[in-house]
Amino acid sequence: MDNDILMRVEDLDVRYKTRIGYVSACDGINLDIYKGEVLGLVGESGSGKSTLGKALMRLHPRSTVQTGHLWFDGDDLMAYSPRQMRRIRGERISMIFQDPMTSLNPIQRIADHITETIKTHRPQTSDEAARARAAELLDVLGITPRRLDEYPHQMSGGMRQRIMISLALSLNADLIIADEATTSLDVIVEAQFMSLLKDLCREFNLTILLITHNIGLVAQLSDRVAVMYGGRLAEVGDVGTLFKDPKHPYTQGLLGSVPSIKLHDKDELYRMEGSPPDLIAPPSGCRFHPRCPHAMQVCVEQQPPLAEVEPGNPAACWLHHPIPEGHSAEPLPDRQEAPA
């Protein structure tokens, strides 16, 4: 299995500098991305999932502190110079951005976006070859190559999102990071986007990190899921197991909060108490303890390790790990007993 790891994220910390202190947006992230898989990364807004996505490409400005290791193809990307990093971006790792309406240069033609990307990485490519590649990509994504010479404002949101995908595909990147790629699309376009991405995965054997807060999208597209809470990973596992039997109370709450049209009158939508943690002064111990229905003394005092509960399904929760000596499993006064 180890050979098939495309990227190994090791002890990744990302801290933003603000006027009132550092925001710990990613804290001790350890995550493997396997070749050919679609890994869903879910969590609430502000849980650090987009920060993580950008950190994988080292896209954060210099004022942001980023430490840890990003093992990619035997090298640690964290040790790369800006110049080496630039060669990786677009060519080996590419990204589909959140907002297709603003992520294309308004004064650049569609064709130029693609050919510029190709010629930046492969300067020896002829203009005709680059343009032919652009036409081919648009064709794959169901846009007629006649529209190559149009400007972004002449296209609809769904089309622009497909252009963003074609840009990400233009150099056959090994890893594609899709950062909330469907958030700004309406449901119908979103559905089209999903089935398109599914086809592309099958056709080109893509490796995708799908960052989203849309559980439905993850359920449909992903092989595995990583759940993030307050800048840390709460739980990782393959979609089937994790959705059927979530280990972490946060995952349970998150899945319970997804509205379904099939919901019966009696079933109530789960409402999670409290609000996401303040990442400038995060809660002690487990960052989820102020909102967790099963919080114990130990949860306040000690951070739970992200250790395997079942093979391939690690969860960071004291409910599933032996409690270290000197700490107590006594539930907090206002919480309920841990489930059996």
Partner 1 sequence: MEFNPLTGICLSALLVVAVLVIVAFVRGSAGLRTYIITRVLLTIPMVFVLTTIIFFVMRVIPGDPVTSQLGPRGGAEARERMTRELGLDRPIGVQYVDYMTGVLRLDLGNSLIFGNRPVAEELGERLPATLELIVPSLLFATGFGILGGTFAAQRRKTATDYGLRLFSITAYSIPVFWLGLMLQIVFSLRLDLTPVAGRMDAVIGTTLERTTNLYLVDSLITGNFPAFFSALHHLILPVLSLGLILSGVFLRLSRINVIEALTEDYITAGRARGIPERVLTYKHALGNAFIPIIALIGLQFSVLLAGAVLTETTFSWPGMGLYLIERIGQRDYTAVQGVIVVFALSVTLISLITDIIYAYLDPRVQY
The DSSP output letter for 286 is S
Q: Which of 94, 115, 222, 313 binds partner 1 (CB under 8 A)?
A: 94
Is 57 near partner 1 (CB under 8 A)? yes
Is 335 near partner 1 (CB under 8 A)? no
Is 251 near partner 1 (CB under 8 A)? no
d(CA 330, CA 224): 33
Contact stretch for partner 1 (CB under 8 A) within 11-19, 95-103, 126-134, 292-300: 95-103
Is 167 near partner 1 (CB under 8 A)? yes
Is 87 near partner 1 (CB under 8 A)? yes
Is 174 near partner 1 (CB under 8 A)? no
Q: Which is nearer to partner 1, 116 or 301 (CB)?
A: 116
Distances, alpha carbon 37 to alpha carbons 74, 81, 206, in Å: 19, 28, 7
Tokens representing 338?
């841990």
Contact stretch for partner 1 (CB under 8 A) within 4-12, 37-45, 94-102, 295-303: 94-102
Tokens representing 243?
């959705």
Spatial contact of 149 and 111, defined as CB atoms under 8 Å apart? yes
Q: Which is nearer to partner 1, 59 or 129 (CB)?
A: 59
* Helical packing angle, 187-204 and 157-169, nearest 10°: 20
Q: How many residues bind partner 1 (CB under 8 A)?
A: 28
Is 86 near partner 1 (CB under 8 A)? yes
Residue appearing with tokens 């130029």: 112
Residues 100-159 that bind partner 1 (CB under 8 A): 102-108, 116-117, 120-121, 151, 153
Is 301 near partner 1 (CB under 8 A)? no
Is 223 near partner 1 (CB under 8 A)? no
Q: Which is nearer to partner 1, 102 or 275 (CB)?
A: 102
B/e letters for 93-124, b = 16+ CB within 10 Å, e = fewer, are bbbbbbbbeebbeeeebbbbbbbbbbbebeee
Q: Find how far residue 334's CA is from the centre of its chain.
A: 34
d(CA 80, CA 59): 13
Q: Which of 35, 89, 327, 335 binds partner 1 (CB under 8 A)?
A: 89
Q: Which is nearer to partner 1, 104 or 225 (CB)?
A: 104
Distances, alpha carbon 242 to alpha carbons 239, 254, 274, in Å: 5, 12, 24
Is 164 near partner 1 (CB under 8 A)? yes
**Order of all β-strands in the sheet with 75-76:** 21-34, 5-18, 65-72, 75-76
Q: Which of 16, 72, 97, 250 binds partner 1 (CB under 8 A)?
A: 97
Contact residues: partner 1, CB under 8 A: 57, 59, 86-91, 94-95, 97-99, 102-108, 116-117, 120-121, 151, 153, 164, 167
